[in-house]
Amino acid sequence: MASRNDDDEAKRPALDSKDGSGAARKATRKRSENHVGNALRSAYDEAVREDVPDEFLDLLRKLS
């Protein structure tokens, strides 16, 4: 019986195909990774710029 990974591999085009689709797939993946990275950086930057809620500041004062 073939494993699930073997079935998945058979469905996927080869990365080093003669028509160059492997290079295109790599470039597409790189652009997707860059897009995700940029989105995460943007979300992080936005969160960092937000003020700390007063409730959190009150809790921190009580702990110190």
Domain assignment present for residue 59? The answer is: yes
pLDDT digits (tens, 9 = 90+) for 2-30: 555 555 555 555 555 555 678 888 889 99
Q: Which of 18-22, 26-30, 34-38, 57-61 has the lowest mean pLDDT?
A: 18-22
In a domain, 43, yes or no: yes
- Average pLDDT on 38-52 reads 96
* In the chain, % of residues over pLDDT 90: 52
Name the maximum alpha-carbon separation found in the chain: 66
Residue 6 forms part of a structural domain: no
- Residue 13 domain-assigned (yes or no): no
- Please check whether residue 49 lies inside any domain of the structure: yes
Structural domain range at position 37: 21-63
Assigned domain for 2 exists: no
